Amino acid sequence: MSDQSIDLSAEKYEKHREAGEILAQVRTETAERVEVGASHLDIAEYAEDRIRELGGKPAFPVNISIDEEAAHATPSIGDESTFGEDMVNLDIGVQIDGWLADTAITVDLSGHDDLAEASEEALDAALELVEPGVETGEIGAEIESVIDGYGYNPVVNLSGHGLAHYEQHTEPNIPNRAVSQGIELEVGDVVAIEPFATDGSGKVREGAEEEIFSLEREASVRDRSARKALDQITEEFRTLPFATRWLDSSRPEMALRRLKMKNVVHGYPVLKEEEGFLVSQKEHSVIVTEDGCEVFTR
C-alpha cells in the first residue's frame, strides 16, 4: 500500500475525527466530576449519555478502573460504589457509524501524582515518535524508558492497538516495552497508544468479575430472554463491547449466562495488577500522516 493511495480526508477519517472531537469533550467533562464520594455508576452513565447527546455512540462501556485494576471494569446494574482516595482510570470510546476513537486518563485521588505523570509523559514521548516507517517496538522502547525513569514499570502484557471499522482492537499492537520485532507504521494507520504504569512488577491477571461482553458469533437461541438480548446485541452493538446494564432484558445476567454457555458472547474479565499494586493509564488515538501523526482525541 503506497502513501500516495491514502486520502486522509476520506469519509472514514472524518468520522474518526468527529468521534475524537466528541470524546475529547466528554473525557474532560467526565474527569472533572470524579471526586471522593461520587458514584461510579453516575459517572459512567453521565459519560455515555453525554456521548449520545453530542451525536456519537459509546464504542464500549466506560471503564472505571480503581487502584490495581487496569481494564474492563465498569459499573454493574444498580452499582452503589463510590470513589474514595483512589487512583481512578477512565477509559472512554466513541464511534460514529462504526469508526472509533479511544482515550483514557488517570484522575488521581490517592496522592500518587508521579505514577499518573509517568504514563502521561510516556504517552507524550511515544506520540513524538509516531511517523511512517517507525517500528512499533521503538515506540514501546520509548514508553518503557520514560516509565522506568520515574522508577516504575510499564504493564507489559497490555498494549496499544489499531482501530478499525466496528473493531476496537486490531493490528498493529503497540507494545509498552521494547520488543525486537515490531511492525512498521504506514500513512493512514489509525492506532490507539496507551501506556500503563505501575509500582508493581508490571503484569496484569484476570479477575473473577465480568460486566463487559461482546458478540462472538450469531446462533439460534431458544430461550426467550436470551433471544431478546441477542437481537439487541446484533442490532445495536454489533461486534463492539457492551455492558450488562445496557441490555433491555428483564433478567440480563441470566440471558448473558445462557449466551455465554452457547459461546455466542464472550466476557472481558477485569484485569488487575497481579500483586495488587496501583496502575495508571493515559491514551490517545492517532492517524499516521506523511510527516508524523494527527492526534484526534486531544
Q: pLDDT 10s per residue in the chain (298 long)?
A: 444 578 999 999 999 999 999 999 999 999 999 999 999 999 999 999 999 999 999 999 999 999 999 999 999 999 999 999 999 999 999 999 999 999 999 999 999 999 999 999 999 999 999 999 999 999 999 999 999 999 999 999 999 999 999 999 999 999 999 998 889 999 999 999 999 999 999 999 999 999 999 999 989 999 999 999 999 999 999 999 999 999 998 899 999 999 999 999 999 999 999 999 999 999 999 999 999 999 999 9
Q: Which of 108, 121, 144, 194 is catalytic?
A: 194
Q: Which of 68, 102, 108, 144 is catalytic?
A: 102
Cite the annotated binding site for substrate by residue number: 72, 169
Q: Where does the chain hold its CATH 1.10.10.10 domain(s)?
A: 210-271
Looking at domain 3-206+276-295, its CATH architecture is Alpha-Beta Complex (3.90)
Q: Where does the chain hold its CATH 3.90.230.10 domain(s)?
A: 3-206+276-295
Looking at domain 210-271, its CATH architecture is Orthogonal Bundle (1.10)
Q: What is the pLDDT of residue 229?
A: 96
Q: Respond yes or no: is residue 283 known to be catalytic.
A: yes
Cite the annotated binding site for a divalent metal cation by residue number: 91, 102, 161, 194, 283
Phi and psi at residue 91, to the nearest 5°: -120, 120
Q: What is the pLDDT of residue 249?
A: 87
Q: Which of 48, 67, 68, 91 is catalytic?
A: 91
Q: Respond yes or no: is residue 112 known to be catalytic.
A: no
Q: What is the pLDDT of residue 293?
A: 98
Measured CA to CA in angstroms, residue 297 lies from 112, 136, 282 at distances of 25, 20, 12
Residues linked to residue 58 through DSSP beta bridges, in sequence order: 94
Q: Respond yes or no: is residue 131 known to be catalytic.
A: no
Cis peptide before 58 (omega within 30 of 0): no
> Is the Cβ–Cβ distance between 193 and 185 less than 8 Å?
no
Q: Respond yes or no: is residue 231 known to be catalytic.
A: no
3 state DSSP class of 5:
helix
> Is the Cβ–Cβ distance between 56 and 94 less than 8 Å?
yes
Q: Which of 21, 108, 117, 161 is catalytic?
A: 161
Structure pTM? 0.95
Q: Respond yes or no: is residue 124 known to be catalytic.
A: no
Q: What is the pLDDT of residue 180?
A: 87
Q: What is the pLDDT of residue 141?
A: 98
Q: Respond yes or no: is residue 284 known to be catalytic.
A: no
Q: Which of 67, 86, 108, 283 is catalytic?
A: 283
